Chain A
Amino acid sequence: QSVLTQPPSASETPGQRVTISCSGSSSNIGSNTVNWYQHLPGTAPKLLIYSNDQRPSGVPDRFSGSKSGTSASLAISGLRSEDEGDYYCAAWDDGLNGPVFGGGTKLTVL
């Protein structure tokens, strides 16, 4: 069982908007920032969002992150077929003294 909780799957049609949730606790999301990673088939994982809502250079503004309390969300607008893949949230955990991840959400673009 992963420390952070994500829905195992999500789906939406091209052009639409999808949101992926990530639930944690006071020892991780509640007191530290959240990062999001994209893992497309056959590629290396990629940093999408860091420090809750910051996009690295080169990440389109279709991707956005937010955090409230002990939960966080990743929103993807203007969905494209190439967005299909796995998405992971992560945060530092004060109790475990290390970064922890969600179990991942498999996104399908219908």
Chain B
Amino acid sequence: QVQLVESGGGVVQPGRSLRLSCAASGFTFSTFGMHWLRQAPGKGLEWVAVIWYDGSNKYYADSVKGRFTISRDDSKNTVYLQMNSLRAEDTAVYYCARGRGDHTNWYFDLWGRGTLVSVSS
């Protein structure tokens, strides 16, 4: 079955860290760029980060640059999002998604159901 399953969300205090995982199945994971996106309560979707299919490039939204790190382990068909120095405004449902298209026309053709991250003291 072609799917993405996120895990690792939870409640965390401001300033602390959390690592999200996204397990892929049903497709050749190593041939796709992978993305993280998020949706804060009552807000729209926001793109967070991307890692190239071969891990050679990583890009981040300005809102998370320097605090979040995306990585992948093709042996485990898993993409990760290491989130450090978390802030209240990072509270959101985090989705991983499979990327298609070229660099200025990314679109996301497979999504997970998301994992909730709540940053609160």
Contacts and interface: CB of A to CB of B under 8 A. Distances in A.
A44 B113 contact: yes
Interface string A88-104: 10101010111111111
B28 interface: no
Contact of A46 (B61, B111, B114): B111
A81 interface: no
Nearest to A46: B111
A50 interface: yes
Interface string B22-48: 000000000000000000000111110
A69 interface: no
Contacts of B113: 43-44
7 contacts: A2-B43, A45-B95, A47-B107, A88-B44, A90-B45, A92-B105, A102-B44
B111 A44 contact: yes
Given A45-B97, A92-B105, A96-B62, 13 more contacts: A2-B43, A32-B104, A37-B45, A37-B108, A46-B111, A47-B108, A51-B107, A56-B109, A90-B107, A92-B106, A98-B47, A98-B61, A104-B45
A69 to B, nearest CB: 18
Contact of B105 (A33, A44, A56, A102): A33
Contact of A35 (B44, B95, B107): B107
B47 A44 contact: no
A32 B111 contact: no
A61 to B, nearest CB: 18
A88 B95 contact: no
B47 A100 contact: yes
A51 B105 contact: yes
Contacts of A104: 44-45
Contact of A101 (B46, B104, B114): B46
Contacts of B59: 97-98
A101 B47 contact: yes
A90 B100 CA distance: 14
B55 interface: no
Given A45-B95, A50-B100, A50-B101, A101 B45 contact: yes
- Kindly list the 3 A-B residue pairs having the minimum CB-CB distance in the complex, ordered from nearest: A103-B44, A35-B107, A101-B45
